[in-house]
Amino acid sequence: MRGLGLAPLLVMAVIVSVTMCDCHFEAFTLLDSAEVLECMRRIEVSDSDKNSLFTSMQPLIDMYAFTDMLLDPPSPYEELQVDLRAELTALQEAPYASEYDMHKALAQLIAACKDPHLRYVTPYKFRQFSYIHPVRLTASLDEQGDTVLSMAMPPAEYAWSVTAHVHSLFESDPDAASALLTALLLREE
């Protein structure tokens, strides 16, 4: 269980592929996900864009084959009950601090339907990031049924992110960076 002590060091990182809004991120840069989220939350939503989006969503909800079934799902699916029309109306009337928050709320509503055929795709400006962990953690069971935790390098195409992450760790917390490097080196042996 010693590997769990390193878990706080494994922050989510972001590779940025293009520039968006007022944020100017360089392509293929490693950033903290909080920094990117802060940027996305600075994009304001206009009333006309909000009304246009919800007005276009209403007929799509009406055409969805399971809208009525989700009002009163058959047993054993009662926990999947969703009133899409009422929820969409509530979302339309809700105030949003940012465009990101509005799209997130819509995506969560569609996800609540638990239908793999139904999907809400956010605008491109919110999808131009890849979220990665600087190292790969896995958990498996050994022959005795005990949990075995292991840590390894990410796939080759993301290996540069480990170098960047460890470099930033050395600047802020040399002991944590040494522990991470030691664990990775021991794992690779």
Residues 148, 94 share a domain: no
| pLDDT band for position 84 (cuts 50, 70, 90) | very high
pTM of the model: 0.64
| Phi/psi of residue 140, nearest 5 degrees | -145, 170
Residues 141, 113 share a domain: no
Residues 107, 57 share a domain: yes
Q: What is the percent of the chain with per-residue pLDDT over 70, rounded to a whole number?
A: 66
Residues 102, 80 share a domain: yes
Residue among 171, 10, 33 at smallest CA distance from 100: 33
Residues 163, 91 share a domain: no
> Which among 74, 105, 126 is the end of a domain?
126
Specify if 23 maps to a domain. Answer: no
Residues 115, 145 share a domain: no
Residues 115, 48 share a domain: yes
Residues 60, 106 share a domain: yes
Q: What distance in Å separates the CA atoms of residue 105 and residue 97, rounded to the nearest whole number?
A: 12
Where do we find the tokens 């040399």?
Answer: 174
Residue 181 has pLDDT above 70, yes or no: no
Specify if 33 maps to a domain. Answer: no
Q: pLDDT (tens digit, 9 = 90+) per residue, 91-117?
A: 999 999 999 999 999 999 999 999 988
Residues 145, 116 share a domain: no
Tokens describing residue 99:
């465009």
Mean pLDDT for the stretch of residues 157-162: 65
Specify if 22 maps to a domain. Answer: no
CA 87, 92, 93, 97 dihedral sign is positive
Specify if 46 maps to a domain. Answer: yes
Residues 154, 118 share a domain: no
> Which among 95, 126, 157 is the end of a domain?
126
Average pLDDT over the chain reads 77
- Tally the domains of the chain: 2
Q: pLDDT (tens digit, 9 = 90+) per residue, 110-136?
A: 999 999 888 888 887 777 777 666 667
Q: What distance in Å separates the CA atoms of residue 26 and residue 48, rounded to the nearest whole number?
A: 31
CB 137 within 8 A of CB 11: no
Residues 140, 111 share a domain: no
Per-residue confidence (pLDDT) for residue 11, from 0 to 100:
35
Domain coverage including residue 156: 2-11+134-188
Residues 6+ apart with CB under 8 A from 1: 149
3-state secondary structure of 129: strand
Residue among 69, 115, 60, 66 at smallest CA distance from 88: 60
> Which among 96, 126, 156 is the end of a domain?
126
Q: pLDDT (tens digit, 9 = 90+) per residue, 15-65?
A: 333 344 567 777 767 777 788 888 889 888 999 999 999 999 999 999 999
Specify if 53 maps to a domain. Answer: yes
Tokens describing residue 27:
């392509």
Per-residue confidence (pLDDT) for residue 21, from 0 to 100:
57
